[in-house]
Amino acid sequence: MTETEEVPVKALTGRRAELKHAYTLYKQNPVVVAGSIIAVGSIVLALLSNVIVNPNIWQVEQLGQRLCWNNPTFSWPVTNVFDCPGATYPLGTDSWGRNVLQMIILALPLDMEISLTIVVSATLIGVALGSFAAYVGGKVDEAILRVTDIFFALPALVLAIVVMTILGRTIMNLTIAVLIPWWPIYVRLIRSQVLSEKERPYVEALRSTGASPVRILFLHILPNTIYPVIVQMTLDIGNVILTFSALMFLGFSPNPLLPELGNLVTEGISYVFTAPWLIVFPGLTILIVVLGFNLLGDGVRDVLDPRLRR
Amino acid sequence: MKLYEYALRRMFLLIFVLFAISLIVFYMARGALPPEYSLAPYITPKMTDAQKLQLAQSLRVATASCPSYQAFSSHDPQCVAPLWGQYVIWLGLIAQGNWGYSQLPGLAGTARTWDVFTGRFPFTAQLAIGGSIVTFLIAFPMGIISATRNNKLPDHASRIAALVGYSLPIYWFGYMLQIVFVLYLAVGGKGLFQGSGALATECVICFSSPGSINTFTGMPILDSVLSGNLPYFWDSLLSTVLPIIALSLATLSSLTRIVRSSMMEALRQDYVLLARSKGLRERVVVYRHALRNAMLPAITVSGVIFSTLLGGVVLTETVFAYPGIGQAIVSASLVVDINFLELYVLVIASILVITNLCVDMIYAVLDPRIRY
């Protein structure tokens, strides 16, 4: 009788097991997979946009092709739609004669870049201040909380409008204007996380071994509290795009010709009922990109649920 | 600490926040902008240069040693005055209700800022209150249905709808609503609803000349009811429907998600199992027992929801040409009307802090575990 030999199988332990488990959960959720495809796709399209589309076309007026639509698959119930000379424009042309599809592709890198800048800066500032406030406690904590109260007393868009009024219309000022109402959210988020984590036994153990507060905070507490921040960051990429494209739409952009999704909607305001494609397609792009990041954020939240940890 | 002591502490916080905001906005605005902007709200059209200089000196915008108005407007260094003096004078003026003259396009120097603001504010209040009512009225049933029929079709449909609603740009959705209801659903050239404006007179189902009303509150919907003018009520209601839908979709979606998750959390608790095993009807279990506990996170978040609504009002009024303060603040910021900006910021901040205070009070009343 042959004896079966037991082949030792090396099991995955620790973080590798967590990540594999997380990946399995991720694959099982079709909605999250769709969201991540959209999000990654928009980032890739943004990176490749200067290759796909000539980046100089947004400054040039092509008067012969103003406000025309010649996509045969769909027709609008409006009168006086001009037929475009030459090639087929899939999404029509705008009032300066530029191809709307090319404008949208050119607008993506600017939007993604500004959004990522704002989210990363807000996270860095918020996490630094919030964890400091929570760990130190006392008057410092109280003071930082009161400062965030001031920022929470106004809606984000209103505060951004006030800052833009005072600073003037440039991209840098737009970034600062949206950053200012955004960082207090991260302060509150990380503060509540660190407050509850601070009471854990391992922190007391670390303190009794003589570890410095900075070491405890950055090497031990923060890695355990970072998951909600990552979820919030992913969701905020979409929300920040919504906010600063709203600011651009309201008229705070430095150049009305600038290819940016909110700015493209502004161009279409005077033509709502005569050339609706000017508004429909840029807005649809914002919707799809933000939806992708929101789906991704929801998926990240589901996958990084604390019950997976230990 | 008793509840009223907590409320008192929060009111002191309100005063602190208002002072801090007014100081920050004042210093930012008047520090970064040339001094003509600080003087502009107080100038009437017929003032001579000497009168303007005198006004500037009494407001401490220019120093007492400033030789002429030309020196002041060309930013002569001996005319530049410190900001703290200006702030004190400005505080005194607004304590008397003097916010200067509005700089909005078409109104420069003729209408008072306070009058322009109070004339427009009821329209915005109408939108914000309507938006809140719609948000709460639709989000709670949708969230409850989603939670009780978990992972079935209504749940998936409402989750996807909520996600899409949460990701929409408000201004784009406003224009889409206009395109659908005015361009597509059109009869004889007129759309089903009116596209823009505060009174609907150009649509299929509205009255073209609804008459007039007496102004009691400034809000057309309330005033038309109080004046007994039914066609006006119908028309103002029709013109408010599309803006309120556009405004409340985002907040409605996020509230639905929160209600859904908190209901699912509540339905997992042991007391629900006990209630069901006692033989109580499902409706009693859901509404009498689970919902009361699930409402608490939703109430906590309603302060943030109202803040989002007030921010969205700016976009909605611009899209639908609604004559409220949201639209006015956009023109005020393009013209840089400092006083209007400061008035707007202070009013919005007070509304939000008071709303958050009321929300916390309601939460403390509803949740017996909270004791201040």
Torsion of CA A53, A56, A58, A63, to 10 degrees: -100
- In A, which residues are within 8 Å of B318 by CB distance? 249-250
Composition of chain B by helix, strand, coil, percent to 5: 70, 0, 25
The predicted structure's pLDDT at residue A271 = 86
A251: left (phi over 0), alpha (psi -120 to 50) or beta: left
Portion 240-269 of B in contact with A at CB < 8 A: none
- List all residues 6 or more positions away from B47 whose beta carbon is below 8 Å from its beta carbon: B55
Give the model's confidence band at A290: pLDDT under 50 very low, under 70 low, under 90 confident, else very high.
Answer: very high
CA A80 to CA A275: how far, in whole Å?
A: 9
Helix, strand, coil percentages in chain A from 3-state DSSP, rounded to 5: 70, 0, 25
pLDDT in tens, B289-335: 888 888 888 888 888 899 999 999 999 999 998 888 998 999 888 88
Q: Which residue has the higher pLDDT, B3 or A225?
A: A225
**Which of A232, A250, A265, A290 to probe the B interface (max B CBs under 10 A)?**
A250
Residue B352 pLDDT > 80, yes or no? yes
Q: Per-residue pLDDT tens for A34-48?
A: 888 999 999 998 888
B72, B76, B81, B86 alpha-carbon torsion, rounded to 10°: 30
Contact A251 B349 (CB under 8 A): no
State whether B329 and A158 contact (CB < 8 Å). yes
Q: Which comes out higher in pLDDT, residue A213 or A160?
A: A160
pLDDT at A308 over 50: no
175-204 in B: which are within 8 Å (CB) of A?
Answer: 175-176, 178-179, 182-184, 195
Q: Cβ contacts (< 8 Å) between B348 and chain A: which residues? A: 154-155, 158
pLDDT at site A6:
63
Mean of all residue pLDDT scores within chain A? 84
Q: Please give the average per-residue pLDDT across B11-32, as a whole number.
A: 86
What pLDDT score does B102 carry? 82
ipTM: 0.88
pTM here is: 0.87
CB atoms within 10 A of CB A199: 8
Cβ separation of A242 and B352 shorter than 8 Å? no
In this predicted structure, the answer to whether residue A310 has a pLDDT above a threshold of 50 is no
Which of B163, B176, B195 minimises the CB distance to A291? B163
User: B352: which chain A residues are within 8 Å (Cβ-Cβ)?
Assistant: 152-155
Strands B190-191 and B186-187: antiparallel
CA distance B38 to chain A (A): 12
Predicted local confidence at residue A305, as pLDDT: 66
Report CA-CA distances (Å) from A215 to A141, A203, A210, A224, A284.
Answer: 20, 11, 10, 14, 47
Question: B359 in contact with A at a CB cutoff of 8 Å?
Answer: no
Per-residue model confidence (pLDDT) at position B227: 82
Residues B146-197 have pLDDT tens digits of 888 887 888 888 888 898 998 999 999 999 998 888 878 877 667 777 777 7
A218-243 residue pLDDT tens? 888 888 888 888 889 999 999 999 99
